[in-house]
Amino acid sequence: MIKIDKLDIKKAHEGLVNGDFSAVDLAKACIKNIEEKDKDINAYLEVYDDVIKQAEYADKKIKNKDNITELTGIPIALKDNILNEGKTVSAASKILENYKATYDATVVKKLKDAGAVFIGRTNMDEFGMGSSTENSAFGVVKNPYDTNRVAGGSSGGPAAAVAISSALGSFGSDTGSSVRLPASFCGLVGLKPTYGAVSRYGLIAFGSSLEQIGPMGKTVGDVEILFNTTSGYDKMDSVSLPEDFYSKHKKKEKLIIGVPTHFMKEGIDEDVLENFNQSVEKLKSLGYEVKEITLPNIKYSLSVYYIVMPAEASANLARFDGVRYGLHKDGDSVIEDYFETRESGFGTEVKRRIVLGTHVLSSGYYDAYYNKANIVRNLIKSDFDNAFRNVDVILTPTSPTPAFKIGEKKDPLSMYLSDIFTVQANLTGMPALSVPSGSVVRDGKELPVGLQIIAPLLRENILFEIGKRFSGENN
């Protein structure tokens, strides 16, 4: 049997082209791992019934040398909010439990064109609202390193799927941390791309000015392949960037790294901070210059995010009313139909954010909360723009803690603090990459932690360059 846990996308591609194994072999190895491991993890909501058929088609392409790409025959897992035509997509919510996608998301179409094999749809926090995948209507995703702990969220399913080698790459969505945090908790590489670099067409909307579809993989090189395959202009996404959006950037000979030490004084576990400091020293040893920087308004990031995000969620989720699609519950009137449907269909965290978002958008509070938050959002963006005049990237830990225990964070505010280092990239549109930086010990088990590298708009190439060097990957 093929040892898929030893493979990444690059190695699998070489094996497929050389005839060491087939795409069907890869697909069967993934399904075997799901059967053996996922009962304890709950990463998958559905394994597609046409996986082997997809793999057989990929094998024919490889045999005939028909438009082979690095992703032809490669097994990929999808987050349950990315549309795959003809397949169920529920956003892990009862309100969309039986909804079938009527078209392909642009990302899915590009992956199909590249010959990727879709293994299935994976679990998530309902509508992407959460940092732990404890808010799914279909059960918690458990961390493969310690099943008493969370896999991170909201893309916990896609992360766990790769971590148990039931897929060689996956796609999630990142609105505040949702690709990077689970990647960190599960020992993977995760990318939140520049806002507009990857089309959101076919992504179930949550926070429209914040969210991006992003890849996860075992290596930086794999994530680069996934990003390059799916990025680019799409007329179906109004914020999509033009085709030549990378052409103006020239490679620098020496890169300078900025570290906002002032932002790491409180709220971070001591051993996580020690791991981060060791990571900084490692980058210095690789020849990078490191400068301390100040971001004056960064301390307001989480407050701004938790005003802007619920406001956008409230507007986006208004469409789920039981009239057009999804769950429907009968009431005594049309309004009662809405109330009954939304009460039955939405989970607690989704309701909390809708109520909060509706409040900050109401006539009496719009200026006091939403408008003020957007003013501070612009100040935060300006701080990063100023910092990037002197440094090329900015480093932080991905998370202030390793994966925490399931049920540990009962207070919503303590859960929201998990995003303290990640929301800035979503507020500003910047790309950010989480790479594994080692581990810390909890309850006798080694748990992964991640290093976050943030770059200016459109500079994913710098993230990949530094990430590969840090991880010891060959270019």
Whether 184 is catalytic: no
Pairing of strands 289-292, 256-259: parallel
* Residues 20, 12: Cα–Cα separation, whole Å: 9
User: CB-based contacts of 171: which residues, under 8 Å, 6+ apart?
Assistant: 76, 77, 78, 79, 82, 107, 111, 158, 213, 214, 215, 216, 226, 230
The residue type found at 23 is A
Pairing of strands 169-174, 117-122: unpaired
Answer whether 344's CB lies under 8 Å from 327's CB: yes
Q: What angle do CA 72, 73, 76 make, to 5 degrees?
A: 100
| Helices and strands counted in the chain (H then E) | 15, 13
| Token duo for residue 463 | 């993230």
* Residues 406, 218: Cα–Cα separation, whole Å: 24
| Token duo for residue 366 | 């719009």
Whether 410 is catalytic: no
Whether 79 is catalytic: yes
* Residues 293, 388: Cα–Cα separation, whole Å: 10
Q: Report the sign of the C-alpha dihedral through residues 176, 390, 283, 442, in that order.
A: negative
Answer whether 276's CB lies under 8 Å from 451's CB: yes
Which entry of 131, 178, 240, 399 is annotated as an active-site residue? 178
Which entry of 10, 79, 110, 409 is annotated as an active-site residue? 79
Answer whether 219's CB lies under 8 Å from 8's CB: yes
| CB neighbour class for 325 (10 Å; exposed up to 12, middle 13-18, buried from 19) | middle
Which entry of 90, 132, 154, 231 is annotated as an active-site residue? 154
- Which residues, in sequence order, are bridge partners of residue 142? 150
Residue with tokens 């439990």: 97
| CB neighbour class for 240 (10 Å; exposed up to 12, middle 13-18, buried from 19) | buried
Taking alpha carbons only, the member of 379, 445, 425, 448 closest to residue 182 is: 448
- Active site members: 79, 154, 178
